[in-house]
A and B are shown apart, each in its own frame.
Chain A
Amino acid sequence: MEEIWHGLVKAIQLIVTLDPEVMGITGRSLAISASACLIASVVCLPLGGLIHFYRFPGKRVLTNLIQTFYSMPTVVVGLLVFLLFSRSGSLGGLGLLFTPTVMVIGQVILVAPLMLGLTISALSGVDRVIPDTARSLGASNWQAVGVIIREARFAVIAAVILGFGRAISEVGLALMVGGNIRGFTRVLTTAISLETGKGDIELSIALGIILIIIALIINIALNQIQQRRA
């Protein structure tokens, strides 16, 4: 008990004094997950729109498949990306393994199903009459799509934020393809798991507190958005 208390006090000291090591890890974590989130959004929002608007055979199966991947284990994605980018893998020649770049790629793959699925359900939540109304007022099909995304904007933003939450809190993938290299690919979650193993409790607790604060901020943001919707 005393050990935890001691660790907590030291941890708060580390945060308050803006310890360069702690800040560096936090900044890297945010940067990698934010990039992943941005790239995934650029791909998933229009793609989700396409899937929502076009009728095609197997649409329901595809949607179910996407939802299944919401809870895809991070280590499975890690394994996949590792195999792709390892020396003998098909993308091994790029030499990206154990770099922040490959971590971003992995996280994009990880959060894409979540963002895609939530975008689709956000768009389905829009009154079916909205696109009809737009078209009846002279909107082209693409202009009608724009109206629907605008109507669903709060739910779509929620999808993006949830994606970011999943990206920043995962550890398996970051460890497997990032390698937890100090000052290069070490992020919040990998640092916590490593430092705890090494017995450096105070750094772990400090990073843990930061991670919780980030989660808290994400939650507050989500709540705010959902309230505006109502």
Chain B
Amino acid sequence: MILIETVDLCQSFNGRTILKNINLKVERGEALAVIGPTGSGKTTLLRLIGLLDLPASGRIYFTGTDVTASGRAGLDTRRRMAFVLQKPVVFNTSVYDNIAYGLKWRGGKGGQRQQEVDHVLETVDLAACRNRNARTLSGGEAQRVAIARAIISGPEVLLLDEPTANLDPLSTAKIEEVINNIRHQHQTTIIMATHDMSQGQRLADRVGVLLNGEIVQTGGWHEVFQAPDNRDVAEFVGMENFIAGAIASSQDGMVAVKVGDRVIEAISHYPAGATVSACLRPEDVTLFLSPVSSSARNSFVGEITRVVSSGPLSRIEIDCRFPLVALVTRRSAEELNLEKGKKVYATFKATAVHVMKREEASS
């Protein structure tokens, strides 16, 4: 059942277009992540869906009813949702009162209210801070207060705008756990904005990619990660290798992409002659020091041109007569003694390659 639907939603500020023709459908009980770089319009979109702002044009339907125009219907709908804003501000009062506000505005009864607040305080693990002034909390604790006061009323829809931005990994893990629990215990519909794709993957089952104010692709994680619709999406989801070539032959869904004098095998239906990019995630490339017989159909010898290590991973740039980037664990980079000038065999499966039509202008 479609819970929320947006139709041709547009937003602009001072003549500048922020959102263009957003058409989204969200099912009841679903968790949708809106991903996109900073400034792509994620917050603006959530604010429209949360009925905090009026769109420049377009409509929003909640269970089939048009709730775009503010007013009684808008307020009633707003009270069935809860929105955790990106930068949580807590009210200058106790933690308890901060959370009780969420109930009061929705008409919770006094005695019952206290029990519910105490219960939700346990849920977000803040019972010890019950009577502290919320302004004295740390960033992670304040974010948990923000989530607590949002979920206390048992909203049907939870809107989260970058729920863990600027938080340390421990606080992030805690908040993600809280969100997952809410979702599984109450079948709450969740729409979240994030630029952290791994977080989106952990918390949501469907994704909409928002680039420059437009939803450019929606689908499951696998689809968006492995088969992005265009180069912008591909770059955003972490594909780093875009190898320009042309289809030499195409048969039964298998193609040979000619790149200079080398041939990459891939899964695709493009006909022979089409100019394409062979796209590849750097973590799908495996490196060997000697030729190996593996099930991977593509293996190219090349010379390492650069090694950059960050954290537990090493990024290896290789010249295989076409540039290729591989991501390996730092440990294996050290074990294989990968360094500039070394000869390696870069190997990847045909299924790891996503073939995308190439527009001459952008290549």
A: residues with CB less than 8 A from B are: 127, 129-130, 132-140, 143, 147, 150-151
| Interface: B150 (CB within 8 A) | yes
Alpha-carbon gap, A130 to B87, bound state (A):
10
* Contacting residue for B50 out of A136, A147, A151, CB 8 A: A136
Contact between B106 and A151, CB atoms less than 8 A apart: no
| Interface: B208 (CB within 8 A) | no
Contacts A129-B89, A143-B105 given; indicate if A138 touches B50 (C-beta within 8 A).
no
Question: Most chain-B Cβ atoms within 10 A of its Cβ — which of A134, A139, A140, A147?
Answer: A139
* Contacting residue for B52 out of A136, A140, A147, CB 8 A: A136
Please, which residues of chain A bring their CB within 8 A of the CB of B79?
Answer: 138
Q: Is the interface of A mostly helix, strand, loop or mixed?
A: helix
Alpha-carbon gap, A137 to B158, bound state (A):
11
- Please provide the chain B residues from 78 to 121 with a CB less than 8 Å away from any CB of chain A in the complex: 78-79, 82-85, 87-89, 91-92, 101-102, 105-106
Alpha-carbon gap, A112 to B246, bound state (A):
78
A-B contact count (CB 8 A): 52
24 CB contacts below 8 A, A to B, read: A129-B87, A129-B89, A130-B91, A132-B85, A133-B88, A133-B91, A134-B101, A134-B105, A135-B78, A136-B50, A136-B85, A137-B82, A137-B83, A137-B101, A137-B105, A137-B149, A138-B78, A138-B79, A138-B82, A138-B105, A139-B101, A140-B75, A140-B105, A143-B105
Contact between B105 and A139, CB atoms less than 8 A apart: yes
Please, which residues of chain B bring their CB within 8 A of the CB of A129?
Answer: 85, 87, 89
| Nearest CB of chain B from residue A149's CB, rounded to whole Å | 12
Residue of A with least CB distance to B84: A136
Residue of A with least CB distance to B50: A136
Contacts A135-B52, A138-B153 given; indicate if A127 touches B89 (C-beta within 8 A).
yes
- Please provide the chain B residues from 136 to 176 with a CB less than 8 Å away from any CB of chain A in the complex: 146, 149-150, 153, 159
* Contacting residue for A151 out of B52, B85, B91, B159, CB 8 A: B91
* Contacting residue for A138 out of B89, B92, B106, B146, CB 8 A: B106
Contact between B91 and A147, CB atoms less than 8 A apart: yes
Given A136-B52, A137-B153, 9 other A-B residues pairs in contact with their CB atoms under 8 A: A129-B85, A133-B91, A136-B50, A137-B83, A138-B82, A138-B153, A139-B101, A147-B91, A151-B92
Alpha-carbon gap, A140 to B153, bound state (A):
16
Please, which residues of chain B bring their CB within 8 A of the CB of A150?
Answer: 91
Alpha-carbon gap, A135 to B82, bound state (A):
9
| Nearest CB of chain A from residue B162's CB, rounded to whole Å | 13
Residue of B with least CB distance to A153: B92
